Structures are given as structure tokens and as C-alpha cells.
A and B are shown apart, each in its own frame.
Chain A
Amino acid sequence: MSELVLQALYSGLLVGGVYALIALGLALTFGTMRVINLAHGELVLLAAYMAYMVESRLQLNPVFAVPLAVLVACTCSALVYLLVDRIRKNRELNSLMLTFAIGIVITNAVLLIFSGDVRSTGSPFMQDAVQLGPLFSMKSELGAFIISLVLVFALWQWLSRSWYGRAVRAVSSNRDAAKLMGINPARTELISFIVAGALAACAGVALYSSSVVHPALGHALTVKAFIITVLAGVGSVPGVLAAALLLGVTEAMTVTLWSSALQELVGMTLFLVVLLVLPNGLFGTARRRG
């Protein structure tokens, strides 16, 4: 039993790494533009299907799909920004419905082009087992986790050290003051959307390599990313990582100890409890949502 629990803990952590990557993109755009991009999970989905296309058509390892996936996801993300930016009236809710609509369009476009079948990598290299003491995983799962950690760390450094990273944080904390300091908020927002697209692209390729994808996954990923953002609270990269790992582990534990059907239930309940009881999230700085 304890072996099973340990294994679940391990698998949950590995999945949590990819969740962190997805959630960071959502949190980044939410921070700068105060807009929840409900099409974010669908960007990840698009990237995953680019990996599928490269593998099935060109017979290449899905890793080689990263440039194409980044190009597609960044373009779509920038497009989402340009469309959201056109909204003038009641921006908070209208942008929510607009990105929701874009998500529906992307999901159904994927459904039309690639059909509703469940896809996963066929590469034997990716599916090889790796043993770490008593714990097992696929090579791709461990790889996806490590790459996710590296990217999360890189984003953290970018946000805290680079000029653009600071600009993003400045716009997110006070748009007008940032403008007075000579930052172009529109350009900063666009950059945050492009970076979010790149993160989504890497997450999509990692997800395709280590797990299974199907068109309806996009919406589920958006919801997961939002749950993580709420758990983490606004404004902390390590917080997002911790919340993502927590969600991954909780889901894996539920599947092992309880039932796989209840996996989503636990995530949703965790979400509601944190949302209603701890309005600032588990790690967030004080900020009201009311």
C-alpha cells in the first residue's frame, strides 16, 4: 500500500509540473490585463496536436514539434490579445465570454481537422520506463517534469530580473503608474500574451509526449489552470508551482486511494473551498476579490 501511495505521489508531482506551466501562462495574462483567457487550455491543445501532426506526418520525435507549436500558439495567443483589446464595453465579463467563444472555436476546429479520437505518442523512446529507486515513470513524464521546472524557473527569473519582466509586473500592479514611468502598457500586455503562448506550446508538446490528448481536453485544462491560479493567489510564481504540484498530487492520490471518476471532483471541491474560505489563495499577497 505504501508503495502505491509513494508511486501516486511521484506521478502526481510529475503531472503537476506540466500543470504549473499551463497555469503560469494563464496567471501571467490575468496579471497584466485583468482578463481570464478562457481559451488558454485550447492553446495548449493546439500545441499538442501540432506535436501529433509532426509525429504522424513526418515520423519525427514530438520534441521536434516545439518550434512549430511555439509559432502556432504564440500567433493564436497574440490574436486573442488583439481581439480582447478591441472590447470597450464591460470588459471584465465580455472578455470572459469572448475568450470562451474562441475556446469553442479552437476545440471544434481541432475536432474537424484531427477527429475526436484519443491520441498519444507512439515513440518508443518517449515511452521507455525510468526507475528512480522504487518509483517508475515513462521517460517522457520525467522529461516533461524537468523541462517544466526549468521553464518555470526561467519565467520567474525573467519576471524578477529583466526589464520586460519588471514592466509586466509594473503594469499588473498599477497600469497608470507604469505608464507614467515610460512603459507602454499595450506592448507589455502583448508580450505577456506571447510569452503565455510559448509556455502553452511547451506544455502542449510535453502533454502529448507524456499523456493522451483529445479535443475536449482544452476546456478541462483551462479549468485546471484557473483552479491552480485561484489556489496560488495572485502574484507569486513559486505559489503557482506549489499549487500545481498540490493539484497533481491530490488528483493522483484520489485515483489511487479512491476512484478515478472522482479525480475531477476533488480538484473542484478544493477550488471551491479555497475560493470561498481563503479569498487570497494559499500563497497570494493580500488582495480582495469581492
Chain B
Amino acid sequence: MNAMRRTAFALLAVLYVAVPAALGSNNYLMGLVVSSLIVAGVAVAWALLGNLGGMVSFGHAAFFGVGGYASALLTMKLGIPVLLAIPLAGLVAVLFSVAMLPALRLSGPYFALAILAYAQIFRILATEMEFLTHGSGGISQIPVLPTIAGFDLSSRTGQFLLLLTLLAAFLAAYDAIRRSHYGIALRAMHDSEDATRVVGVNSVLLKSWMLFVSAFMTGVIGAVNAHVINFLEPDYAFSGIWSVLPIVAAIFGGYRTVTGPAIGAVVIYLVDQLVFKALVSTGHQIILGSVLALMILFAPDGLLPLLRNALRRMRGASHA
């Protein structure tokens, strides 16, 4: 395990230096990488709820939109500094997720679609509450990320480093939760929720915590995104794409693994933007849909476990 952690740190260090060095001069490619990290953040949050909490959500756009709007309004109306507003936006997303707690009683598909309903309701509210959100006209000129100690976070490289740091922190938190005794209880709940309750685990409380953590992460990413693109409108901030892309990414990478969703998001997003979009411009989501369907049918555990198994088999062959 230690070796794996060391590799992870080494890989992270390489990413910090190598990506800006290689792509830093290409604003377009760097922009795509930044967007892919945003999707990766939501994918990790989605997978945390799906894997540890056992709840599939079709409405993570709800938290993403709330986070974005909260941060935009906190900075613009109350003058709170951007870097403080971003975690606060995460907390606002948690606050909104409290409204979803009754849905935790619902099982599988009912929960998934109840969350979808919440996302729709939030989108309509954001459109209708014009005094706060400017309605469908949207909010423009959202402040950019600040300059810290002479380093400009609003540059593409700065955005990249901030998002990579956030993503690494999310993954570390995810891993820590999974290893803790809460993680063990959550995994036991997967096999039998009733049996886990019988041995004294408060399953509803644990699930609520997972919902809160997932909402916080998604809200923070939504907030960063708002400061990266500097514009929000309800149909964009609460767009179904923020619910769909993370699902495709997490399933593609393997949503039962910690790093799979993040890697899947970067791969899927970049391939989608660079290849699929060039092939079919208007309906390129058709390929995303096909990928999701094929993954569920042929490799429901994702590509990462598949690759790992293949690697193990190859190693086994060389030992023999």
C-alpha cells in the first residue's frame, strides 16, 4: 500500500510540473484540461456517493449549480474574497442537500429520480428568482480567481494547479473515508443494510454524511467553475450535462475504485472534445451514451479494474 501511495505522490508531482510545461503555451488545450478536471471533481463526488453511500444520483447538477451561484453571489453581493467564497459555496451546497435528506429513505431508482427532481426544481428557482440571480439572463462578470503571492491563479496554469490540488485533496479524503471504520460500515451496508443496522450502525446518519461530503465537493467545484468561466445562467449551471458526464466518466473509469472516476473523466472529456466533437458536432453526446451503454453491458466495473487484471495476468505469465 505504501508503494502505491508513493507512486501516487510521484505521479501527482509529475502532473504539477509536466502538464503546464508541456501545454502551458497552448491556451486552448490547457482550457480543455482545466474543464476536464472540473468534470473529474464532480465525477469523484458522484462516485463517493455511489460507491460508499450506495446511492446513484441523476442530479449532481443540483449541487454544481448551487455552488456556482452561491460563490458568484457571495463575491459580488457581499464582497467576500473569492478563495473564501469557494469553500462557503460548498457549505451552501451542503445546506441545500439537507432538503434532500428525506429522499435518503428511498431505495435505488427512487432516490436517483428524486435527486433529478431536486435538480430541476433548483434550476427553475434560479430562473424565477430574478432579484437574486438575474433569471435566465444570467450573471456575467463574475470575479476571476485572485493572485496569491505573485502567482496568478486566474491564468490557465493557475486554474489547472488549483483544480489539481482540489482533486488530489478530494481523492485523499475519499480514500481516508474508505479506510476509516465508517468506510468499513458503509461497505458492510452494501451487502446487507439490515444486518449492518442490527450490529449498531446508524445507516441513515452515515448515508447523510456521504450525501453532505458529496454535495460539498460538487459545490466547491461548481464554485471554481463559476470563477473560471465568469458567467452563469440557470440552463448552464444546472444543465443535465453536469449530471451525465460524471456518470459516464465514473462508470468508464470504474466507480468502485478511488482514482478511476477522475482518470475516466479526464480521458472521456478530452476524447469527447477533441475527437467526438470533430466527428459529429451537433449530437456528439450520442457517443457518450453509447460508451455508457457498452460499459454497463460489457465492463460494468470500469476500465481501470479491467486494465489492472490484464496487467496482473501479464505479470503472472512472465513469472511462470
Contact = CB atoms under 8 A, between A and B. Distances in A.
Q: Do A and B bind each other?
A: yes
Interface of A: 36, 83, 86-87, 89-90, 92-94, 96-98, 100-105, 107-109, 111-112, 115-116, 219, 223, 226-227, 230, 259, 261-262, 264-265, 268-269, 271-272, 275-276, 289-290
B121 to A, nearest CB: 5
Contacts of B289: 101-105, 108
A86 B297 contact: yes
B13 to A, nearest CB: 35
A223 B56 contact: no
Given A101-B290, A265-B121, A268-B117, 8 more contacts: A36-B109, A93-B56, A94-B296, A97-B251, A98-B297, A104-B289, A108-B286, A261-B128
A242 B42 CA distance: 39
B192 interface: no
Interface string B240-253: 10001001100100
A112 B287 CA distance: 12
Contacts of B285: 104, 107-108
Contact of A262 (B109, B124, B240): B124
Contacts of B127: 261
B218 to A, nearest CB: 19
Given A101-B292, A105-B286, A111-B282, A268 B121 contact: yes
Interface stretch (B66-74, B98-106, B206-214): B98-106
B124 A290 contact: no
The A interface, classified by DSSP as helix, strand, loop or mixed, is helix
Contacts of A265: 120-121, 124-125, 128
B112 interface: yes
A86 B112 CA distance: 22
B283 A109 contact: yes
Given A93-B56, A223-B113, A264-B124, A290 B105 contact: yes
Contacts of A101: 248, 289-290, 292-293, 296
B108 interface: yes
Contacts of B107: 289-290
Interface in B186-230: none
A249 to B, nearest CB: 20
B280 A223 contact: no
A116 B275 CA distance: 22
B286 A226 contact: no
A230 B113 CA distance: 11
Contacts of A36: 109, 113
Interface string B286-320: 10111011001100100000000000000000000
B108 A272 contact: no
B106 A289 contact: yes
B120 A264 contact: yes
B206 to A, nearest CB: 16
Nearest to A271: B117
A-B interface, 6 closest residue pairs, ranked by CB to CB distance from nearest: A104-B289, A108-B286, A108-B283, A101-B292, A105-B289, A101-B293
